[in-house]
Amino acid sequence: MKFKNDHAKKNEFTPLEIIQEMEKRRDMMMIDVREPVEVKICHIENARHIPMGEIPAKIDELPKDKDLVVFCHMGVRSKQVMNYLRKNGFTRVYNLKGGIDRWSVEVDSKVQRYR
């Protein structure tokens, strides 16, 4: 993210940081890398769902000219996806710290929490 030009230094952003940035601009894409069964439980509106295992096959569908915010349940799988995308030429990809679980706590309590 272009947060005060510190995007090269920071790999993760909290849900509150992400939502503040989303209010300012539209050139961001949220990517949900959870499994379909998890997405049925809850989701973030307008996020694109690409399960982690499908990322390599769909990498060419992802824009390199947008900030990509990758998330999963708690932030572990999405961090792996972020690292994979960075190794494959994506410079504007970030992890949602704490995943959709933290999003539910900090941003939108209507997003159901699960274990």
Amino acid at the residue 67 = D
Catalytic position from the list 72, 81, 85, 96 = 72
Tally Cβ neighbours within 10 Å of residue 79: 20
pLDDT tens, residue by residue, 9-48: 689 999 999 999 988 888 899 999 999 999 999 999 999 9
Count helices and strands (H / E) in the chain. 5, 5
Query: What is the C-alpha separation between 68 and 75, in angstroms, rounded?
Result: 14
Half-sphere exposure of 107 (CA within 13 A, CB side): 22
The pTM (predicted TM-score) of the whole model is 0.91
Catalytic residue list contains 42: no
